[in-house]
């Protein structure tokens, strides 16, 4: 299958290895991966901060960057959820643009969802001999509906032991600009999330969201804790 890769700006700038691992995974399962180097941000940060005109410009660019009917796969559930559920809010009075919203909504998938529900792949032959726990990000769980897909993939990673933490579905406190505008609240939420993860005895906290992991890792590093956040793709690419 031929697919287009959408690398969110956050991953492109801060976690490029996750993007390369996504390519590695997709090629492992037989996909031909296309990457349009003109792509940029999907517009989610501007939208969430109230700058809808700027977000609309980026959405229009996304339409241009991802023409045709090829599946669009991304290692970020929050960006995909934004494209699927919120682009139409930007163009609610534009019938032609709403067609574009519908087109990209049908085509765009988060990586684990694409692997499990489209390609019907749950075992990549990955190895990761560590105890881990899983953080359900707000956008992935409540916006996109991802919960079982990552866990099915992790269940087939050789040597990996998944230990569910208490309140795995509770927000980590990042929330984009929320963590900047409400620092003390965000820090308290990150503290609770990490405390629950540490209590499992896990060595790693896994998520589909690099932004959540940045927030979690910032707290862990600041307090010298023996646990680290890691993206799902970075585990699945260990084959």
Give the lowest-confidence range in 124-133, 158-167, 196-205, 208-217: 208-217
State whether 81 and 181 are in the same domain.
no
State whether 81 and 141 are in the same domain.
no
pLDDT band for position 178 (50/70/90)? Answer: low
Give the number of C-alpha atoms closer than 13 A to the C-alpha of residue 25, restricted to the C-beta side. 30
| Helix, strand, or coil (residue 229) | strand
The span from the CA of 171 to the CA of 137, in Å, is 7
Domain end marker among 87, 118, 149: 118
State whether 209 and 156 are in the same domain.
yes
* Count of the separate structural domains present in the chain: 2
Q: What is the pLDDT of residue 189?
A: 82
Question: Which residues 6+ apart lie within 8 Å of 3 measured at CB?
Answer: 26, 31, 32, 33, 34, 70, 71, 72, 73, 114
Mean pLDDT (the chain, rounded): 93
Structural domain span for residue 194 = 131-236
Question: pLDDT, tens digit, for every residue of 17-53?
Answer: 999 999 999 999 999 999 999 999 999 989 988 999 9
pLDDT band for position 181 (50/70/90)? Answer: low
Q: What is the pLDDT of residue 237?
A: 98
Pick the residue with more confidence: 188 or 231? 231
Q: What is the dihedral of CA 97, 39, 178, 16, to 10 degrees?
A: 150
The span from the CA of 190 to the CA of 193, in Å, is 5
State whether 92 and 152 are in the same domain.
no
Task: Supply the Cα-derived Rg of the chain in whole angstroms.
Answer: 18
Does a structural domain hold residue 125? no
Q: What is the pLDDT of residue 187?
A: 77
Domain end marker among 59, 90, 118: 118
Does a structural domain hold residue 123? no
Domain end marker among 118, 144, 173: 118
């Amino acid at each position: 299958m031929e697919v287009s890769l959408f690398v969110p700006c956050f991953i492109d700038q801060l976690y490029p290895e996750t993007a390369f691992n996504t390519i590695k995974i997709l090629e492992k399962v037989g996909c031909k991966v296309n990457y349009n180097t003109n792509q940029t941000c999907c517009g989610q940060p501007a939208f969430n901060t109230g700058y809808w005109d700027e977000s609309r410009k980026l959405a229009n660019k996304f339409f241009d960057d991802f023409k045709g009917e090829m599946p669009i796969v991304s290692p970020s559930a929050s960006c995909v959820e934004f494209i699927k559920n919120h682009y139409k809010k930007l163009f609610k009075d534009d019938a032609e643009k709403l067609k574009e919203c519908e087109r990209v909504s049908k085509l765009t998938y988060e990586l684990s969802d694409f692997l499990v529900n489209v390609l019907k792949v749950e075992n990549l032959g990955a190895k990761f001999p560590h105890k881990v726990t899983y953080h359900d990000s707000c956008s992935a769980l409540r916006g996109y509906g991802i919960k079982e897909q990552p866990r099915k993939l992790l269940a087939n990673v050789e040597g990996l032991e998944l230990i569910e933490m208490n309140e795995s579905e509770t927000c980590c406190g990042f929330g984009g600009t929320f963590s900047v505008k409400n620092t003390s609240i965000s820090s308290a939420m990150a503290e609770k999330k990490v405390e629950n993860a540490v209590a499992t005895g896990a060595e790693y906290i896994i998520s589909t969201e690099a932004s959540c992991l940045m927030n979690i890792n910032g707290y862990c590093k600041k307090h010298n804790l023996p646990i680290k956040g890691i993206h799902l793709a970075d585990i699945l690419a260990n084959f």
